[in-house]
């Protein structure tokens, strides 16, 4: 039997690059998607350069997985953008940018991946969200991220039920602050206080959680919080 195949968006750096390494280490062939890449140098890793807000990027990624590897077993909707502003200061351009990436990108990739998964008899989708959806913070306004990522959490449950009988599982991970290139390292000390466990997360924490969901074949429609207790309270 050929290796299982994962499509990972936002794959060139940060959490996405960690997921690529984690899934390759677990024996998966990977199709990574990002705006730019260094050359992978790995026959079982295809880099697809493109904007996930463009439906053609999803068509190319799913097509590459199917044509080169024969199937799509896993989609991780990791790519996303964060715009944290007071709501009345958000612009139309902010709204357009965040919905294009966080919602349209999710729609294009998930629709095509699930179509392929149903045709082959099963698969798994994981959506990356934020615990700000569950635990708002007065000093961290995040209405636009909550609007988009909260919608994806709701869609996770809906899709899990819609496709359960056809062998497709759909889950989500909701993240706290994770050490990635998106954050100024000098900010970590202040951000630690947002998490009851007293630290910010590591990329390995996210990879471990997603690989757990991949192995947990009786779990679907679930949102796993990887946030140091942030969503539970403070």
What is the tens place of the pLDDT at every residue in 162-214?
999 999 999 999 999 999 877 777 777 888 888 889 999 999 999 999 999 99
Tell me yes or no: is domain 5-232 CATH 3.40.50.720: yes
For 91, the token pair is: 């612009």
Cα gap 65→48, rounded to integer Å: 10
Question: What 8-state DSSP symbol labels residue 197?
Answer: T
User: What is the SS3 string spanning 113-130?
Assistant: HHHHHHHHCCEEEEEEEE
Cα gap 223→231, rounded to integer Å: 11
Mean pLDDT confidence for 224-234: 91
Give the other-Cβ count within 10 Å of 109's Cβ. Answer: 25
Instruction: Provide the terminal-to-terminal Cα distance of the chain, rounded to the nearest Å.
Output: 48
What is the tens place of the pLDDT at every residue in 26-70?
999 999 999 998 878 899 999 999 999 999 999 999 999 999 999
Query: What integer pLDDT is reported at residue 1 of this predicted model?
Result: 54
Cα gap 10→141, rounded to integer Å: 24
- The residue extents of the domains of the chain are 5-232
Q: Which residue has the higher pLDDT, 151 or 193?
A: 151
* pTM confidence score: 0.95
């Amino acid at each position: 039997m050929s290796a299982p195949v994962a499509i990972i968006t936002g794959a060139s750096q940060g959490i996405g690059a960690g997921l690529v390494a984690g899934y390759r280490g677990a024996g998966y062939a990977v199709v990574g998607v990002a705006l730019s890449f260094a050359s992978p140098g790995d026959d079982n890793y295809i880099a697809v350069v493109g904007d996930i807000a463009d439906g053609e990027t999803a068509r190319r990624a799913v097509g590459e997985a199917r044509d080169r590897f024969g199937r799509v077993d896993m989609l991780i909707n990791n790519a996303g953008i964060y715009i944290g502003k007071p709501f009345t200061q958000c612009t139309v351009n902010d709204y357009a940018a965040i919905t294009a990436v966080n919602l349209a990108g999710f729609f294009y990739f998930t629709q095509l991946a699930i179509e392929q998964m149903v045709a082959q008899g099963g698969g798994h989708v994981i959506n990356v969200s934020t615990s700000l959806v569950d635990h708002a913070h007065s000093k961290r306004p995040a209405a636009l991220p909550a609007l988009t990522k909260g919608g994806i959490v709701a869609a996770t449950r809906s899709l899990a039920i819609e496709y359960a009988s056809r062998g497709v599982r759909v889950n989500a991970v909701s993240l706290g602050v994770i050490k990635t290139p998106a954050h100024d390292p000098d900010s970590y000390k202040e951000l630690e206080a947002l998490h009851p466990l007293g630290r910010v997360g590591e990329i390995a924490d996210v990879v471990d959680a997603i690989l757990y969901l991949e192995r947990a074949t009786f779990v679907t429609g679930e949102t796993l919080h990887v946030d140091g207790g942030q969503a539970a309270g403070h």
